[in-house]
Structure formats: structure tokens, C-alpha cells
């Protein structure tokens, strides 16, 4: 039988995961669309690069949110669901990073800030109880899906590669949100939703540039 890990061992494991997310380029998923050269217009290429950098930053935050919630989850079933979600989101992280590189850009230099802040928020949501944690997850995914819809409207029409990645992410986020609601997630108070939206605006604005 495997022994239970101590809190210190779990913290070390989480630190290792964070370093791997932030410091080691991840390979794109096997079913990612084939690479494309990107928009022909320089302005369109710059816009696509910035948008995919924002999406990569969002996936860094998603890893931390899921892991933070899982770290304090009450019960093995919820913990397993959250870790499975983090594993599935990792494919998005890899695809966004690869696309930013293909476009000749760089990922956000504020990655450690996105990860640390999001992990703390995830822990706070998890400590509020399973129903709140799942509700937080569902609301996060709703907001992310709306954000990706806006990106699909803004991405250049000739950037099929980026558009395919974002569309695939959009479908997965909707599925994750629906699963969280079905598992017992509750609606969050409007002030909490507004605060989440404000925090997301700060991150997307900064990641677009830095």
C-alpha cells in the first residue's frame, strides 16, 4: 500500500510542478493542428502573437488554480477531478506556447506572478468548501469561454492554426465548466464574479504587452 504524503512533501511536489510549467517548454499535443506560417500582414501577426501570449498566460493560471484547489480539496473524488482537469489543460498550455514560438514571439514574462497568485486563489476557493470550489471552477470556465469567443472574433482570418487551437480550447472549457456544475458547483455571489472579472482584465492587459 502506498503511504500518504506529508504536507511538506505535497508542497515540494507542487513547487516542482510549478517549475515545470514555468521553466520547461512543453510539447504540443499530438492532435494539435499542423503548424502554419501565420498571418501575412505584420500587424495581424503581431496581434495573433499577443493574443496567443495572453492565452498561454491564462493556461499558466489555470494550472495553478486547479492545483491550488486540488491541494485543499475535501475528498479524493474532487481532488481527482481537479487534477484530471489540470492534466487536460496542460495540452492547451503546450499548444499555446508552441504557437507563440511559431509566430516568433515570447510567452509572458510575468508567468511566476500568474502562477503564484492563481495558486493562492485556488487554495482560497478550495478552503471555502467543495460546492464553492466547484462553483468557482464553473464560473472561471464560463469567463474563459467568453474570453476565447472574443479572441476568435479578433484573430486574423488567415491564421487558421491559432484559430483552431483557440476553438479547441473553447470546447474543452465549456465541457469543464458543465462538469463542475453537474458535480455540485453553486452560483457565486455577484461581487465575487465581478472581482474575478476584474482580476482577469488585469492579467490579460498585462500579458498582452509583457
Structure confidence at residue 30 (pLDDT): 44
Say if 135 falls within a structural domain: yes
Structure confidence at residue 36 (pLDDT): 52
What is the span of the domain harbouring residue 65?
37-209
Say if 10 falls within a structural domain: no
Structure confidence at residue 38 (pLDDT): 75
H/E stretch holding 104 reads none
Give the contacts of 175 (CB within 8 A, at least 6 positions apart). none
- State the Cα–Cα distance between residues 184 and 133, nearest whole angstrom: 9
- State the Cα–Cα distance between residues 108 and 111, nearest whole angstrom: 6
Q: What is the SS3 assignment for 28?
A: coil
Whether 137 contacts 180, CB under 8 Å: yes
- State the Cα–Cα distance between residues 40 and 194, nearest whole angstrom: 38
Say if 32 falls within a structural domain: no
Q: What is the SS3 assignment for 18?
A: helix
Give the contacts of 107 (CB within 8 A, at least 6 positions apart). 53, 56, 57, 97, 100
Say if 21 falls within a structural domain: no
Each residue's pLDDT tens digit in the chain (210 positions)? 445 667 777 777 777 778 778 774 444 444 444 455 678 889 999 999 999 999 999 999 999 999 999 999 988 889 998 988 888 888 899 999 999 999 999 999 999 999 999 999 999 999 999 999 999 999 999 999 999 999 999 999 999 999 999 999 999 999 999 999 999 999 999 999 999 999 999 999 999 988
pTM for the whole structure = 0.86
Structure confidence at residue 162 (pLDDT): 95
Whether 89 contacts 141, CB under 8 Å: no
Whether 123 contacts 11, CB under 8 Å: no
Say if 55 falls within a structural domain: yes
Say if 53 falls within a structural domain: yes
Rg (C-alpha) for the chain, rounded Å, is 17
Instruction: Provide the CATH number for the domain around residue 67.
Output: 1.20.1260.10
Alpha carbon distances (Å) from 66 to 13, 117, 170: 14, 12, 17
Structure confidence at residue 111 (pLDDT): 92
Structure confidence at residue 133 (pLDDT): 93
Say if 27 falls within a structural domain: no
Say if 19 falls within a structural domain: no
Provide the number of structural domains found in the chain.
1
Amino acid at each position: 500500500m502506498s503511504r500518504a504524503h506529508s504536507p511538506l512533501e505535497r508542497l515540494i511536489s507542487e513547487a516542482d510542478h510549478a517549475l515545470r510549467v514555468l521553466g520547461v517548454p512543453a510539447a504540443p499535443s499530438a492532435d494539435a493542428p499542423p503548424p502554419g506560417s501565420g498571418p501575412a500582414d505584420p500587424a495581424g501577426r503581431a496581434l495573433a502573437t499577443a493574443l496567443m501570449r495572453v492565452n498561454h498566460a491564462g493556461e499558466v493560471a489555470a494550472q495553478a488554480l486547479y492545483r491550488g484547489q486540488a491541494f485543499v480539496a475535501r475528498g479524493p473524488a474532487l481532488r481527482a477531478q481537479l487534477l484530471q482537469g489540470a492534466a487536460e489543460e496542460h495540452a492547451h498550455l503546450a499548444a499555446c506556447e508552441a504557437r507563440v514560438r511559431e509566430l516568433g514571439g515570447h510567452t509572458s514574462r510575468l508567468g511566476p506572478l500568474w502562477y503564484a497568485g492563481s495558486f493562492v486563489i485556488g487554495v482560497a476557493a478550495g478552503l471555502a468548501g467543495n460546492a464553492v470550489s466547484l462553483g468557482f471552477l464553473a464560473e472561471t470556465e464560463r469567463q474563459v469561454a467568453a474570453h476565447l469567443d472574443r479572441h476568435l472574433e479578433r484573430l486574423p482570418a488567415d491564421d487558421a492554426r491559432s484559430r483552431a487551437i483557440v476553438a479547441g480550447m473553447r470546447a474543452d472549457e465549456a465541457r469543464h465548466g458543465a462538469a463542475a456544475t453537474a458535480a455540485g458547483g453553486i452560483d457565486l455571489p455577484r461581487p465575487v464574479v465581478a472581482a474575478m472579472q476584474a482580476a482577469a482584465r488585469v492579467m490579460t492587459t498585462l500579458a498582452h504587452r509583457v
